Structure formats: C-alpha cells, structure tokens
Chains A and B, each alone.
Chain A
Amino acid sequence: MSLFKYESEVREPLVKGNKTYHQITEDIIKPIEVKPTKLWYVGLVIALILLGFGVLSVYQEVVYGIGQWNLNKTVGWGWDITNFVWWVGIGHAGTLISAILLLFRQGWRTGVNRAAEAMTIFAVMCAGQFPIFHMGRVWMAMYVLPYPNTRGSLWPNFESPLLWDVFAISTYFTVSLLFWYSGLLPDFATVRDRAKTKLRKLLYGVAAFGWSGSTKHWQRHESLSLVLAGLSTPLVLSVHTIVSFDFATSVIPGWHTSIFPPYFVAGAVFSGFAMVQTLLLMVRHVLGLQDYITMGHIEAMNKVIVLTASIVGCAYLTELFMAWYSQNKYEGYAFFYSRVNLFSPYGWSYWGMMSCNVIVPQIFWFSKLRRNIALTFFMSILINVGMWFERFVIIVTSIYRDYLPSSWTVYYSPTIWEIGFYLGTFGLFFTCFFLFAKYFPVIAVAEIKSVLKTTGDNYHEKMLPAEQMTAEEFAHEYAH
C-alpha cells in the first residue's frame, strides 16, 4: 500500500525514455556533427531564393522610391506595416516561453525555449526591415536616433509612439539576443569539448567564450537568467503595447481604442505560439527529437493557443460592442460597414480573421484534437494566416475611407514589390532558422539535464521503492 505518490499522474514526463546525461548530449548535439540531409539543402535553397527576391524588391523600392508600392494618400500604411506588426507579434512567444514560463516555474519550457528564442530573434529581425524601408529614404534611417548632430542639434520627437517603437524594438532585440546567447554558452562548450575536427574546435571554442562549467559560474549564470527573465517579462508586454500605441494614440476610427494594448499582446502570444508549433513540429520530425519535444509539450502550447484565441475573440467582440455603445457614426462605419459587412470591399479579411483566429481554434478545447500532430501543424499555419488578416483588417479597413469621400481610395492591393518584400522576410527568417537548426543546439542541453532527475522514467524508477514503503521505513530512509 503506497503512502505517497511522488510522481504526478496528471503531469506528463518532460523527457521520454530512460535517458542518461550522456545520451541527452548525444541526441541533441549529434545533428550538428553529421552532414546535413538533402531536405535541409532543399529548404535552405528555397529560403535563399525567397531572400534574393526580397533583396530585389527592396532594391526596387530604394532606387525608384516608395512609389513602387501601391500606398497612396489614404492608405499610407499597407502591407509593409501589416507585415511589421505581424512579425513583431510572432517574435513574442520566444521571450514569453523563456521568461514568463521561467518565472512561473513551468518545467515544459526547457524543451522548447531555445528554438522559440531563436525564432523570436529572427522574427524581430524581419519585423525591423519594414519600418526601416517604409521610411523611403533609408539612408537617413539614423535620424531616428538621438545623437548630437550639426542640424541643431535637432532631436527626434520623444513623445511620438513611432519613436517609442524604435526604442522598444531595439531594446527587445538586444535583450532577447543576450538572453539567448548567455543560455547558449554552456551548450557551445559541450559541442567544443566533443568536437573531433579542428575547425569545429576553433569555431565553437570562440563561440563558447571559454566556458568551463565552474560552480561559481553556474551560480552567477542562474542569477543572470533569473534577472534577465524578470526584466524580459515586462519588456515583452511593453513591446506590443507600444506597437499598439502607434494606432491607439491616433484619432482614426478603428484605431482609437483603449483596448488595444492587452488585445495586441494576447494576439502576439497567440501568433507566436502558432509559429513555434510550426517550427518545432518540423524540427522534432527532421532531427528526431520526439523524446524531448513530447506530445505533452505540444499539448501545453495548444492550451496557450486556445486561451489566447479566446482572449482575442473577446477583444474583437468588445470592439464591436464599443462601436455600437459609443453611437459614434464614424466608429460605427469603420466597424459595421468596413469590417463586419462581408460585402464591403475588405469584408473578406474581417471574416477570414474571425474564422481563423476565434472560431476554428476552439477545437483545441478537446484533448484528442490538441494531441493530433497533423491537425496542430495545419492549425498553426491557419492561425498565422488569421493573425495576418487581423493586422490587415486593423490597418487597411480603418484608413481606406477617411472623413473626406473625395479622397477615398480605390481598392488598395499590393504591387509585386510589396509582396516580394514580404516573401523576402520569409526567406531571411527561414535562412536563419535552417542555419540555426544545423549549427546550434536546438534544445537547451544543460537545462534538460538539470530537470532529468525530477521527471520521466529515471525519477519514476527512483521513487518507486519510496512509494512502496511504510511510514517508518520512509522516515528511517529519508530522514537526514
């Protein structure tokens, strides 16, 4: 008769199979040391082609001017800012997983945090391209930085949300990069110490910064991770809040909404988790990491997805309610004509958003569906399509018809160079991600080792005898 149950019967093990420390190293580091597969080369080449097309599109815009895009006086923000907000949103899941889940002591983050943080960094890199090239005269991009200059000194407007964006996104990128890289140091040292070839020893030796695994260093490293997590948590919430201020502080019907900050943050987490699912399902399959990224991990992320889907759903309905409740006719026009009316010019995008983001993700209330890999993969892509629609709806449907009907735009649709720029960021993102998946440990090796003894088969075997003991035996055995 067992007295205690040490292993939760509801919580799944974080690592499957009876692994030793060495096996964990082998499983995760091995893909770095062998030749990449054909599939990897195919993927990389496709990504590079997209990147090349993106570079050509940007070249067109820089050389011939912003007129290469279909933006006009009414629709001043189109695909470019839509894509910017979309990518920044995707970039939120990494820090959420690594920071907020660390503070909440969620053990399952260890399996997915490395890849999610990498994704964050690449997504923010892609996002940054859009506002920079949207400036038009990109060679003057440094004017947004407050440095003493011979123009006055003329300073940027520190009270503008657009400048807050500059600070928020560059801070977010820097802090995410530092957090990610400080976590990578011990794992690079593992690759370095296993390396058989001279080149690998040299490169990973440089990348590991001379990490030795000393107890004092680990103690400081733990402290550093915890404080960086504490700093990143309000940071990640602030970034999309500030992005939402770009809209919320204006007086455009459809933008001038105080619900925007929480609604944007929830949407960002939503789309970010969907992108993490897309990437991890591929990585897990290609690198054979099913023991580390388990069904439990996928299910946990699907739970976050269904929660945030419902939050954004609430936000959509609140907006509609407020548009009606305020009885403001401009607000009413923006919401009930430009958006909800399926037969208005952009009605399709509103209903695309509603179905992809709110209605369909409700299937994840069912455990069976949350644990279905093919469905999860399909949903992760569908959700990101939906989230793209959300940004498009917010931006374009609010501005394509302004207060003066004579300046109402004809139907805005992107030129090939706008589309090319967007595809180009996909190229950049996947080029970076393919290189990451090949040359970096995609799972935090040291962190997995540190949770090994408290989860999974090892723990179960260790605790089995204790569970069989009587109280006296237990007290005798475990009273140190």
Chain B
Amino acid sequence: MAKKKFVVACYDDDDKVFPAIKKCKEAGYKIHDVYTPFPVHGLDHALGMRETSLHTAGFIFGITGTTTALSCMTWILTSDWPQIYGGKPHFALPAFIPITFELTVLFAAVGMVMTFMWICKLAPGVKKHIFDVRATDDLFVMPIECTSKTNVEDLEAFMQSTGACKVNVQVAETEWWWGRYDVDDEPYLINDVPVEA
C-alpha cells in the first residue's frame, strides 16, 4: 500500500485530453493514468502504452483446450476403455472434432477472461480509489503524480491552462484493496479536506 499525492485534472471532452497529454509530456510531468467513461481510441498510444498481449494468452489457452480434448478422448477410447461405436475405429478423429472445437473455445474464453481479471485486478470485493465519480459518466480524469520536488500550486495552474474544467489535489492509494464501496474505509483528502461519505 503506497499513498501518493496527485493533482487531478478533469476534462469534459475527449478531444481536450490529447493536447493536454502532449503538453504534460513536454513539461515533463508524470501522468499516472487517464480514466475515461468509454474506450477512447488512440489514448493508449498517446500515453505511450505498449499493445496488450492478452490475445496471445487467449491463443495459448486455446491450444491447451485443443490438446486436452484430443489427448483425453484418444486415451479414453484407445487405451482406458476401448469401445467400438457405430463401426468406427477406436481413434475416430472426425468424430472427435466437435468436442475438440468446443473445448478449444471454452478454454480460450475462460482463460482469457480470468487473465484479464487478474492483470487488471478485477474481482468482486476489490476496491480502488476513485479520483472522480464522474469518470464513469462524462469526465476524462487525468491524475498527475507529484514528487517531492513538484510545486503543487504551479502544477495546478498548469493543469488549468491545459483546458481542464476541474482541478484538485488528492492523496490517494494507488493499489487495489479488499473493500466495500458503501463504506469509506480510507480517509482520502481532496483539497486537504476529508471527503464526506
């Protein structure tokens, strides 16, 4: 658990976020993240993020499913309990295809969703700090991390100049924790005033 101080700038339009990111980068400020109500295309590249390799995980889970299905059916029908069904040979590959296909899809889908939840830290009971409740409604929220050298007033003024509609200072936990959203289990500070529940 690590608490950090942030200057949080909120923008009311996705088109205002891109120039703001450019300005922040030029000024050398460290952008913690941008929280948006919907996927804004190109934002990941603007922030310098690399492509996700989630689909590679999906592929690996998929071929795991394929091999699981094929090897299990082959073992069961050729060595564990060999039986002849409908005059087919013990190793009747065409008749194995439907189940092999279904298990490929099942493993890939379940594996990918689990991986997605693991790397994004999403699960029932997980709680994360919300910089602005309207980040899931209509605001594009960009917290800038403050270091010991940062002049907070200057940074606030700078963020105002980038076209933000709202700027405030917050001390926030950056990691996730187990918690409930209906209870305030961490006293977060917005503009140095404790938040009301």
Q: What is the bound-complex CA distance between A22 and B135, given in angstroms? A: 11
26 A-B residue pairings within 8 Å (CB atoms): A25-B137, A153-B81, A158-B96, A158-B99, A164-B99, A186-B38, A189-B136, A193-B134, A199-B182, A204-B181, A210-B125, A213-B37, A213-B135, A214-B35, A214-B120, A215-B36, A215-B49, A216-B52, A218-B40, A220-B54, A220-B120, A228-B109, A231-B108, A232-B105, A235-B105, A446-B37
Instruction: Pick the residue among A175, A198, A199, A210 that contacts B126 (CB under 8 A).
Output: A210
A20 at the interface (CB under 8 A from B): yes
Number of interface residues of A (CB under 8 A): 70
Which interface residue of A171, A182, A231, A447 has the most chain B CB atoms within 10 A?
Answer: A171
Q: Which A residues are within 8 Å of any B CB, using their own CB?
A: 20-22, 25, 146, 152-155, 157-161, 163-164, 167-168, 171, 174-175, 178-179, 182, 185-186, 189-190, 192-194, 198-199, 201-202, 204-207, 209-224, 226-228, 231-232, 234-235, 238, 242, 245, 446-447, 449-450, 453
Instruction: Pick the residue among B76, B101, B116 that contacts A221 (CB under 8 A).
Output: B116
Does B39 lie within 8 Å of A202, measured CB to CB? no
A-contacting 9-mer, from B84-92, B147-155, B160-168: B84-92
Q: Which B residues are within 8 Å of any A CB, using their own CB?
A: 14, 33-40, 43-44, 47, 49, 51-52, 54-55, 58, 62, 72-73, 76-77, 80-81, 83, 85-86, 88, 92, 95-96, 98-99, 101-103, 105-106, 108-110, 112-113, 116-117, 119-128, 130, 133-138, 141, 176, 180-182
Q: Which residues of B contact A232 (CB under 8 A)?
A: 105, 109
Q: Which residues of A contact B36 (CB under 8 A)?
A: 213, 215, 218
Q: Is the interface of A mostly helix, strand, loop or mixed?
A: helix
The chain A residue with its CB closest to the CB of B101 is A238
Does A202 lie within 8 Å of B180, measured CB to CB? yes
Instruction: Pick the residue among B51, B80, B86 that contacts A159 (CB under 8 A).
Output: B86
Instruction: Pick the residue among A152, A159, A167, A453 that contacts B103 (CB under 8 A).
Output: A167
- Measured between C-beta atoms, what is the minimum distance from A187 to chain B in Å? 9
Does A178 lie within 8 Å of B181, measured CB to CB? no
Known contacts A167-B98, A210-B176: does B76 contact A146 (CB below 8 Å)?
Answer: yes
Q: Which residues of B contact A217 (CB under 8 A)?
A: 120, 122
Does A231 lie within 8 Å of B37, measured CB to CB? no
Which interface residue of B34, B72, B181 has the most chain A CB atoms within 10 A?
Answer: B181
- Measured between C-beta atoms, what is the minimum distance from B145 to chain A in Å? 14
- Measured between C-beta atoms, what is the minimum distance from B161 to chain A in Å? 21
- Measured between C-beta atoms, what is the minimum distance from B8 to chain A in Å? 13
Q: What is the bound-complex CA distance between A182 and B135, given in angstroms? A: 19
Q: What is the bound-complex CA distance between A21 and B135, given in angstroms? A: 11
- Measured between C-beta atoms, what is the minimum distance from A188 to chain B in Å? 9
Does B116 lie within 8 Å of A182, measured CB to CB? yes
Does B138 lie within 8 Å of A22, measured CB to CB? yes
Does A178 lie within 8 Å of B110, measured CB to CB? yes
- Measured between C-beta atoms, what is the minimum distance from A15 to chain B in Å? 13
